[in-house]
Structure formats: structure tokens, C-alpha cells
């Protein structure tokens, strides 16, 4: 028996404790379901929250609020991935990029996914209750929109835009509410910028799966835009940069912020070059490049408060 276990490559501790081994495997599958192995999504959601927190906090966000938002973004992103995969569990097996996801591959049951989702939402609700009433109200609205996204995208022809409205940018007004107790005009301008940004990077992501999505009947902006995809992505990029410029003028920001916006524009130009042939690898690389867009905008805001305010 020991020889067989050795041939299978099992550690002695695993042979002696099969329950612990099975538990470890379940935890690994749950981590994959929540995309803990792919932090790019967390960064894309975190950057707009940091924009809002730094501006609302005049460059010095409250440590408690900052901690709650960072943890909340991490937890809500995980919850969003779980409920999305639950809704797509019968579609993902037909898409090359998603067929090996735990639910699609039937390594995790729908019941397990719903229990994990409920646990994550419970943690998120606990976190937000550490904040003020206005932020809690906004969080409830955001959570409802997040839960609705996987189902709305079945009927809405541009789900990438709804992703931005419901998930990608909602942390911005929440950040202002948590820091200042108000949601001023600049918060909504930044929110529009974040919504456009989510539509941009998720359209690039959808371009990777366009052929498979057409076969299974999934809606996406990449399909809706057809051969005008690159041009319309460029239009949204220009709209985002314009919204960021308006926000900067509202706050009387100077050269540091302008440098961050210009850097974001250069990154957008690079992304257009990456998607020029609509090749899946190039589109995926352009999607990943967006984490730097969020970073340079945040760097411009942070440096503005450090050296210009």
C-alpha cells in the first residue's frame, strides 16, 4: 500500500489524513472560483475607489475607511466572480477560456457556490457596517446591482456598460460618502470616468471570446460593436479622459494630475495598437494593461496632494 501511495506521489501526511487532503482541495477550488489566483480584477476595481478616497480625503483618507474599502473591494470582487460563474455554469463549458472553471468543470456544485457567495456577502456587509449610514445605503444599492449583473447581461446588449454602472465605478460615490458624508458633483464625474473605463477594458476582454460567444448566443459589446469595435473603444477612451479632465478642473488640480491623465492617454494609445488585429492574445494583453491606467491616474492624484496642495 505504501508503494502505491509513493507511486501516486502522495505525501505521508496526506495518506494519513485523507480528510485534510479533501478539505485542502475544496479550499483550492473555492479560491479558484473566487478568482483569488487572478488579482487583476481586484486592481481594476480598487483603483477607482482609491481615486475617490484620496480626493474626498484631501490626500489623507481616514485609515479605517481606507482599510474597509480595500478589504471590501477584495471581498466584493470575489463575490461577483462567484455569482457570475453560478449564472454562467451552463455556458462556460462551451467557451474555451472558461471551460475549466470549477463550476463549468463540475468540480464545485451550484449549492457550494451559493453558500460561498452568501459567506462573502456577509463579510462585505459586516465591513460596510463599520461606516456611516449614507455609505451603507449606497453599498446596499451597489450590492443589488452587482447581484443583478450576471442575469441582466443575458438580456442587455452591452453588458460591459452595465458592469461599469453596477460594479466598476460604484465605489467612487461610496468613497466620497464614507470620507465626507456627501456625494458632490466631482464624485459623479469620476464615477462616469470609472464606468467608461470598465466598459473599455471589459470590451477588450469580450473581444477575446467573441467567436465562442457568437456560437453560444452570449451578448457582449464586442459583438454589438462588430467591426466598429476599435473605433468605439477609442470613443470611450476619449470620454473617460474628458471626464477625468473635468474632475481635475473642478478640483483645481495642476501638472501632477495632468501628467497622470496624459500617461493614461498614452497607455490607451498602446492598447489600440495591441487590439489593431483583433487577435485574442493582443486583446487580452490590452485588458491587462488597464491596471496601469488606473495606477497612473492614482499616482497623479496622490502626487498632486503631496507636492501641489
> What pLDDT was estimated at residue 13?
47
Q: Taking the model in full, what pTM does it have?
A: 0.88
Whether residue 14 has pLDDT greater than 60: no
The pLDDT tens digits for 77-87 are 999 999 988 98
Query: In this structure, is residue 258 part of a structural domain?
Result: yes
> What pLDDT was estimated at residue 27?
87
Query: In this structure, is residue 167 part of a structural domain?
Result: yes
Query: In this structure, is residue 189 part of a structural domain?
Result: yes
The pLDDT tens digits for 26-37 are 889 899 999 988
**Average pLDDT of the chain, as a whole number:** 89
Query: In this structure, is residue 20 part of a structural domain?
Result: no
Residue 199 pLDDT grade (very low, low, confident, very high; cuts 50, 70, 90): very high
Of the candidates 4, 110, 131, 148, the residue with the CA atom closest to the CA atom of residue 64: 131
The pLDDT tens digits for 279-307 are 999 999 999 999 999 999 999 999 999 98
Query: In this structure, is residue 87 part of a structural domain?
Result: yes
Task: Read off the CATH number of the domain in which 116 is found.
Answer: 1.10.357.140
Of the candidates 49, 48, 42, 80, the residue with the CA atom closest to the CA atom of residue 66: 49
Whether residue 3 has pLDDT greater than 70: no
- Which three three-digit cell numbers place residue 172? 467612487
Cα separation, 259 vs 268, whole angstroms: 14
Number of domains in the chain: 1
Cα separation, 267 vs 162, whole angstroms: 24
Whether residue 137 has pLDDT greater than 50: yes
Query: In this structure, is residue 43 part of a structural domain?
Result: yes
Query: In this structure, is residue 28 part of a structural domain?
Result: no
Buried b (16+ CB within 10 A) or exposed e, 211-229: ebbeeeebbbbbbbbeeeb
Residue 7 pLDDT grade (very low, low, confident, very high; cuts 50, 70, 90): very low
Cα separation, 53 vs 60, whole angstroms: 8
Q: Which residues make Cβ contacts (< 8 Å) with residue 12, sequence separation at least 6?
A: none
Domain that holds residue 109: 34-304
Amino acid at each position: 500500500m505504501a508503494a502505491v501511495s509513493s507511486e501516486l506521489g502522495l505525501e505521508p501526511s496526506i495518506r494519513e489524513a485523507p480528510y485534510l487532503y479533501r478539505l485542502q482541495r475544496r479550499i483550492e477550488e473555492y479560491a479558484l472560483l473566487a478568482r483569488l489566483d487572478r488579482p487583476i480584477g481586484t486592481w481594476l476595481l480598487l483603483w477607482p475607489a482609491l481615486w475617490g478616497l484620496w480626493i474626498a480625503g484631501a490626500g489623507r483618507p481616514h485609515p479605517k475607511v481606507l482599510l474597509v474599502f480595500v478589504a471590501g473591494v477584495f471581498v466584493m470582487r470575489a463575490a461577483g466572480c462567484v455569482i457570475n460563474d453560478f449564472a454562467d455554469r451552463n455556458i462556460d463549458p462551451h467557451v474555451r477560456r472558461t471551460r475549466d472553471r470549477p463550476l463549468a468543470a463540475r468540480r464545485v456544485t451550484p449549492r457550494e457556490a451559493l453558500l460561498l457567495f452568501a459567506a462573502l456577502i456577509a463579510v462585505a456587509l459586516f465591513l460596510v457596517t463599520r461606516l456611516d449610514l449614507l455609505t451603507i445605503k449606497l453599498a446596499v444599492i451597489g450590492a443589488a446591482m452587482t447581484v443583478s449583473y450576471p442575469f441582466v447581461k443575458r438580456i442587455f446588449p452591452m453588458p460591459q456598460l452595465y458592469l461599469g454602472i453596477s460594479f466598476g465605478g460604484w465605489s467612487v460615490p461610496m468613497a466620497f460618502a464614507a470620507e465626507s458624508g456627501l456625494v458632490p458633483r466631482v464624485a459623479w464625474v469620476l464615477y462616469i470616468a470609472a464606468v467608461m473605463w470598465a466598459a473599455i477594458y471589459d470590451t477588450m476582454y469580450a473581444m477575446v471570446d467573441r467567436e465562442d460567444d457568437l456560437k453560444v448566443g452570449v451578448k457582449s459589446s464586442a459583438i454589438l460593436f462588430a467591426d466598429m469595435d476599435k473605433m468605439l473603444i477609442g470613443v470611450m477612451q476619449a470620454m473617460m479622459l474628458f471626464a477625468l479632465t473635468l474632475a481635475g478642473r473642478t478640483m483645481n488640480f495642476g501638472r501632477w494630475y495632468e501628467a497622470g491623465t496624459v500617461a493614461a492617454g498614452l497607455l490607451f494609445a498602446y492598447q489600440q495598437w495591441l487590439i489593431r488585429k483583433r487577435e485574442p492574445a493582443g486583446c487580452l494583453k490590452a485588458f491587462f494593461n488597464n491596471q496601469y491606467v488606473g495606477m497612473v491616474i492614482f499616482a497623479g492624484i496622490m502626487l498632486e496632494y503631496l507636492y501641489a496642495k
